[in-house]
Amino acid sequence: MVAAVAGGCGMVNKSAPKPGPHDTQASYHDSVGLQIAYPEVNECMNEAAVAARETLPPLVDEDPSKLPTYDLTLAEAVQMAVRQSPVIRDLGGTFVNTPNFATTVYDPSLAHSNPAFGVEAALAAFDAQYDAALFWNKADVPNNVQVLSPGGQFTPSVFQGTTGNFRNELSKRTAQGGRFALRQITIYDNNNRPFRQFTSDFVGWVEAEWRQPLMRGAGTEFNRIVGTSQFPGQYNGVLIARVNEDVALADFEAAIIRLVNDVEQAYWELSVGYRFLEATLRGRESALRTFHFEDVRLEVGKGRVDLVAQTESQFYQFQAQVEAALSGELGLYAREQRLRYLLGLPSADGRLIKPITPPTDTKVVFDWESAVSQALQRRVEIRRQRFNLKRRELELYAAQLNRRPQLDFLGTYRVRGLGDNLIGSNSDEPLGNLVGEIAGGDYQEWQAGLEMTFPVGLRAASNAVAHARLSLNRERALLNETELRISHSLADAVRRIGLTHSLLMTNYNSLNADLRQVKVLEARTGLFDDLDVLLLAQRQLVNSELSFYRSLSDYNLAIRDLHREKGSLLAYNGVTLAEGPWAADAYPDAYELGRFLSPRQHPETVSQPPSITSGPFDPSQPQNTQSMMGMSMEGLSPMLESSDSEAGQPSPDAEPDPVPSPSDRTTRMPRVMR
């Protein structure tokens, strides 16, 4: 470990004490306390930890044709990604340096069980509370009272006694803001005061108390929002906790959408990586054939050295492209490793993942009005912002109710008693035992009244109302801006689908033209000596093939982007969000509790606070979308055409092509992600 020491200058303190004997001794912190230590923790191995430890050396320049392949469909890739790890992965890997910002499957449960702001914490404020206390006291107090002894000397009087105080209370706070309490107090007193019937006695009472707010703090809705907070502007009620939990669920859903989006991106990038490698290999083989042809011509005396060198140079240019397409930063092996990470697989295991889901090349047209409607309803960002807006609405409602005086009704009923004994002996005599006297109810008291308190001017409460109103206006503006931004993003996605499909057709036609040109030029190679046109045509053929495969991948990614923008990406990939299994003891508890629940006879007569949601929403539920598949396209070969009955299937007359045949991916088997 290297430490950098920076020096400085300052005023010399001449009055500082000189070094003493203790300054020459080594400190414990110099050798031990400041050392970097390695923590010992209890590790829990899962699939990700096993994959990290069992990985093989990465693939560099191995021949992919000699490696065993792992055929993988896009549906299987998505299924593996969402079920593999409790941590929601992303290609950036930022959580290695900032793990606190990582999204995991535990986040919604953490929001629910937060001991300070969770739903259970908010409900705990309304649980019944039991309070008890027991104290014993010994008194031995001299008094300034003259007491003459037989000898005429002053002897102070002394008060001596033993007391015991037992207090227990059961209280319950209601959703309407009231507080009920049942309290029992027993006091034991044994002293030397004169004029006492009993040397020791038990005094006690049982009382019931009810405090009900009539203005500030009253109402079910108010208490469900404010909770136990006593300060204006601070809210920790069960409704606020519920909204926070829904926001955490929305954040989790957004992370799953990003994961599925990245998996599709990596899957199609790997698919096009194979095509790039095949195209560059074909270009290299074509350049090699040309080089051999010119070399043979040179040997028989019909060639030229400069032409041989020119063809050899093009061969090595293609060789460099092959090596980059195989092991480069954007090569096949790098793309395959990125997909492996998202799937939770080792970086290398001796196999090579091979995408087998054919890309879609048929033209897809979405109904614009339906797409906009779905985007404004299904996008998780809008739903999350609506929950934030709902929270501000609740806070404004509570802040307005907080701007009232505190007026409470207080009622108390008490039964007193006194006895020589606590219970038992001398029960037939007056004041024989405390319990009997209280049970007899001879001494009863009650009290009822009102209490009012409020700060003059209500400055803090008025400021909280103004803050809540401004926060509400801010969230409304953000919601409107979010909807506007999403509509523009959706328009970009629709335009991108049209553009990528047009480029797909154009690049395919360009590929066919370049292919015909190369075939003609190669047949005429021996008829002229200028190879510039042929070599240029070979390079152009490879570039056209790369552009075609790139446009094919971009078109499938454009379809993915449109589903993401209109909020149907999870349904498009068949991903279902579901709650995990309960604890084993929760099932019998829910069953036993359900036996005591029954529907109300007249629910319309019950006044209930308004709900914060309009009902459940399933983001994996597909919605009807008007679309036109398999439209006829002029200038497109049968490879890119599809019929209405078999959308996405290649024509039986089409020649085999390295491009995978299109398929319809609108229906998938649903999967449950836990």
Q: Work out the pLDDT band at 34, boundaries 50, 70, 90.
A: low
First to last CA, the chain: 44
Q: What is the pLDDT of residue 283?
A: 86
Instruction: Give, for 58, the enclosing helix (H) or strand (E).
Output: none
162-202 confidence digits (pLDDT tens): 999 999 999 999 989 999 999 999 999 998 888 888 888 89
Does 641 score more than 50 pLDDT?
A: no
Residue 411 bridge partners (DSSP): 210, 448
Q: What is the mean pLDDT of the chain?
A: 81
Rounded Cα distance between 635 and 509, Å, is 8
Rounded Cα distance between 57 and 337, Å, is 12
Please give the structure tokens belonging to residue 74.
């896009």
Q: What is the pLDDT of residue 465?
A: 93
Q: What is the DSSP letter of 179?
A: E
CB neighbour burial string for 171-201, b if at least 16 within 10 angstroms, e if fewer: eebeeebbbebebbbbbbbeeeeeeeeeeeb
Q: What is the pLDDT of residue 673?
A: 38
User: Among 280, 343, 257, which Cα is nearest to 64's?
Assistant: 280
Q: What is the pTM of this model?
A: 0.79
Rounded Cα distance between 545 and 508, Å, is 8
Rounded Cα distance between 116 and 121, Å, is 6
Q: What is the DSSP letter of 116?
A: T
Average pLDDT value for residue range 433-442: 85
Given CA atoms 467, 472, 476, 479 in this order, what sign does their dihedral have? positive
Q: What is the DSSP letter of 194?
A: S
326-384 confidence digits (pLDDT tens): 888 888 999 999 999 888 888 888 889 999 999 998 888 888 999 999 899 889 999 99
Cα R_g (the chain), whole angstroms? 41
Q: What is the pLDDT of residue 429?
A: 73
User: Among 50, 102, 378, 385, which Cα is nearest to 259's?
Assistant: 102
Query: Which residues 6+ apart lie within 8 Å of 272 measured at CB?
Result: 549, 550, 552, 553
Q: What is the pLDDT of residue 50?
A: 76
Q: At what angle do helices 238-299 and 459-523 cross, to 10 degrees?
A: 20
565-604 confidence digits (pLDDT tens): 999 898 888 888 887 777 788 888 888 877 777 777 777 7
Average pLDDT value for residue range 594-620: 72
Q: Work out the pLDDT band at 2, boundaries 50, 70, 90.
A: very low
Rounded Cα distance between 492 and 71, Å, is 34
Q: Work out the pLDDT band at 231, boundaries 50, 70, 90.
A: confident
Average pLDDT value for residue range 291-298: 81
Please give the structure tokens belonging to residue 168.
């227990």
3-state secondary structure of 145: coil
Q: Work out the pLDDT band at 442, boundaries 50, 70, 90.
A: confident
Does 117 score more than 50 pLDDT?
A: yes
User: Among 139, 228, 141, which Cα is nearest to 190's?
Assistant: 139
Q: What is the pLDDT of residue 668?
A: 31
Q: How many C-beta atoms lie closer than 10 Å to residue 642's C-beta?
A: 25
Does 35 score more than 90 pLDDT?
A: no
Q: Work out the pLDDT band at 19, boundaries 50, 70, 90.
A: low
Average pLDDT value for residue range 309-324: 87
Q: What is the pLDDT of residue 629?
A: 35
Q: How many C-beta atoms lie closer than 10 Å to residue 160's C-beta?
A: 13
Rounded Cα distance between 216 and 406, Å, is 5
What is the domain partition of the chain in residue ranges?
128-173+178-216+406-453
The type of residue at 605 is T
Q: What is the pLDDT of residue 672?
A: 33
3-state secondary structure of 93: coil
**CA angle 522-526-530, nearest 5°?**
85
36-91 confidence digits (pLDDT tens): 777 877 777 777 777 777 777 888 888 888 888 889 999 999 998 888 778 888 87
DSSP state letters, 375-421: HHHH-HHHHHHHHHHHHHHHHHHHHHHHSS-EEEEEEEEEEEEEESB
Q: Decide if 395 contacts 442 (C-beta within 8 A).
A: no
Rounded Cα distance between 434 and 472, Å, is 59
Q: Decide if 568 contacts 378 (C-beta within 8 A).
A: yes
Q: Could you tell me what percent of the chain has a pLDDT over 70? A: 83
Rounded Cα distance between 359 and 558, Å, is 12
Q: At what angle do helices 238-299 and 74-84 cross, to 10 degrees?
A: 130
Rounded Cα distance between 358 and 555, Å, is 13
Q: Work out the pLDDT band at 94, boundaries 50, 70, 90.
A: confident
Q: Work out the pLDDT band at 29, boundaries 50, 70, 90.
A: low
Residue 211 bridge partners (DSSP): 179, 410
Rounded Cα distance between 479 and 483, Å, is 6
Rounded Cα distance between 340 and 114, Å, is 34
Left, alpha or beta for 457 (phi > 0: left; psi -120 to 50: alpha)?
Answer: left
Q: What is the largest CA-CA distance in the chain?
A: 156
Average pLDDT value for residue range 240-254: 91
Please give the structure tokens belonging to residue 70.
């792992």
Q: Greater confidence, 399 or 656?
A: 399
